[in-house]
Amino acid sequence: MTFWLTALLVWMAAGARVGRVMVKPATTARVAIVVAVASVAAAATISIPEVGLALDNLLPHGLFGVMLADRLTTAAWLLFTVATSVVAAAAWPVVSRRNLRQIALVIYAIGLAAIAATMFWSVMFGWVVTLLCCGFIALTGLRNLDWTALGRGIALYTCGTIVVGVLSALSIRRLALAEPQGQPKHPGWFWPVWQVSSLMIAIGAVWIVIELWARARVLLRQIRTLHTTMTKRFPEVKAHDQTGSTTQLKASDQVAQIMDALYLQTGGGVELMAAGTPPGSTAERAERVAAWARNPLGDVVVDSRWIAPPQGLSPRGWVQAIARAFDESEASPAAPRR
């Protein structure tokens, strides 16, 4: 069951990458990622015992003494590293967008020649080329690590590729020690690690989509009360003909609606002397705006200067800070006045 589940999850990641290419320009790097993830999905599918057995039964004696599933699995992993090498090449400063296409054609030509050699000559040769490509990909990935959504995706993808490189080296060693006519069945001999590497690569390839969706869900939960309050007070900020959209767009729309409603509540940009100058502390400023948003007729006075996001803070982060203060003021009892 784990074989089937792994293959299903990797194919889902490949489908997500195809969808990304469909809605955005199909650049050389994006197409290469689709080819890479689809190759991992193909390798995971061939590693399913039932599928591997069915392929081996097509040619009971294999190709040149090696079963068909072995060669196809090796070729699939080789294609993965070749396609990922195109993406890695794009990350180097010496490669421009103008010459990336030519470099990609050269890499694909060499890769196809290596795949042909793997299918009709030597499985060990395929693993050697795979190992070399994994080294290049790992070096490039480690150079581009960063604590961002993209950087975390690259880290996962690179870690999965490093595991593939280690397993490729172990496959070379196993082939070198095997009897001439008794070569190993196929890379399923260490199947749990192959599955883990496949999932790491698949998750890394779609990590940005996953993280942006998760962050949008968290944001929607955080601003729910504030958004409900402000849009009930100012329903005109909502587009009545708005159709269903993705979670990310919905979160962005609600942030914009809250900012618009807060602006309308200030009187449309009127500056008041009683409001004073906003403090430098984001927390203090958010608490005052939240108290004013909850009770605009109370003692707290706020104008458009307070509504504008503090310097260095995005509108999304500013609305989150206001929403947290808004929820805390609702949860905590009002302090007695002296």
Decide: 14 and 39 in contact? Cβ < 8 Å.
no
Decide: 223 and 175 in contact? Cβ < 8 Å.
no
How far are the Cα atoms of 135, 209, 252 from residue 320, in angstroms, in the given order?
A: 42, 21, 12
Inform me whether the pLDDT recorded for 147 exceeds 50.
Answer: yes
Inform me whether the pLDDT recorded for 2 exceeds 90.
Answer: no
Mean pLDDT of the chain: 85
- Please tell me the predicted confidence (pLDDT) of residue 296: 79
Handedness of CA 177, 181, 186, 188 (dihedral sign): negative
Inform me whether the pLDDT recorded for 219 exceeds 60.
Answer: yes
Q: Among 43-47, 184-188, 299-303, 321-325, which is the least confidently predicted range?
A: 184-188
Q: State if pTM tops 0.85.
A: no
What pLDDT digit, counting tens, does each position of 229-262 carry?
999 988 888 876 555 578 888 999 999 999 999 8
d(CA 64, CA 118): 11
Calculate the dihedral angle through the C-alpha atoms of 174, 179, 183, 189, rounding to the nearest 10 degrees: -40
- Please tell me the predicted confidence (pLDDT) of residue 128: 95
